[in-house]
Amino acid sequence: GLEAICNAIPGDPIPIACDGLDDDCDGEIDGSDLCRKAAYINVSAENVTELHVVNEDGNGRAFIATDIAGNDIKDVRWLYDGSLIVFNFGHGIFVALPDGSRITRVSGIGGRVGDTLPTPSPTEGLIAFVSDRDGLGDVYLVNSGRQRNIRRLTNLEREMYQLEWSPNGEVLAFIVSLEGGDCDILTIGKEGGNTTSLRDVFNVGSFGCFDYIRWSPNGTFLLYGSAGDIFRADLEMGEIRNLTNN
């Protein structure tokens, strides 16, 4: 008899969802080779940092890169579809295939600038990062594909500590330092424009500083840690709630 393997309507290619389903109706589980790998950093007995990739069953280990002259590998991320590993090495942002081949610099100009905090979009091939190439610190975007045009997103020239994409890949949230040791959380759309300050939105005189920021799955809340507590900022209602009250 006949057996339906997929009831989706054929259409334009979509990102691999890593959901264990045949989303593109080709008769195979999508991304079976890409969605079951883990990237990790190993520090050898000689204090050398190495980046590796391994299959979920512990086999198929691949060596990606090692530090050179003290340039540590850090901030390792996967591109949204699992096709590339994104990492910070020395003063630049690099990408590599999961098998360790085709390591390519996508940003950074030797030792003249510091590009850090690579943060891939959850929906497309954009990589956000922080750079001091035009001042103290600003957010930039670069495409992970062949046309790697770098675009400046902010014009703040401040210390920045974390980047977080909204779940739909349309907005970036990030922590900036202010005078007097205070901090703020700013958001900006991926097309640029003005930033939105949580201090202004919620009419807060001082936030102190933050341990981290995270988006809720539906993108309506920003969670952040501060002074040992977890707070939820409701972007639609304009309310902040302390979830832990430690």
DSSP letters spanning the chain: ----S--PPP-S------SSS-TT-SSS-TTTTTTTEEEEEEE-TT--EEEEEEETTS---EEEEE-BTTB-EEEEEE-TTSS-EEEEETTEEEEE-TTS---EEEE--TTSS-EEEEEE-SSSSEEEEEE-TTSS-EEEEEESSS---EEE-------EEEEEE-TTSSEEEEEEE-GGG-EEEEEEETT----EEHHHHTT-S-----SEEEE-TTSSEEEEEETTEEEEEETTTTEEEESS--
197-226, pLDDT tens digit by residue?
Answer: 888 888 776 667 888 899 999 999 999 988
147-182, pLDDT tens digit by residue?
Answer: 678 999 999 988 888 999 999 999 999 999 888 778
Give the predicted TM-score (pTM) of the model.
0.79
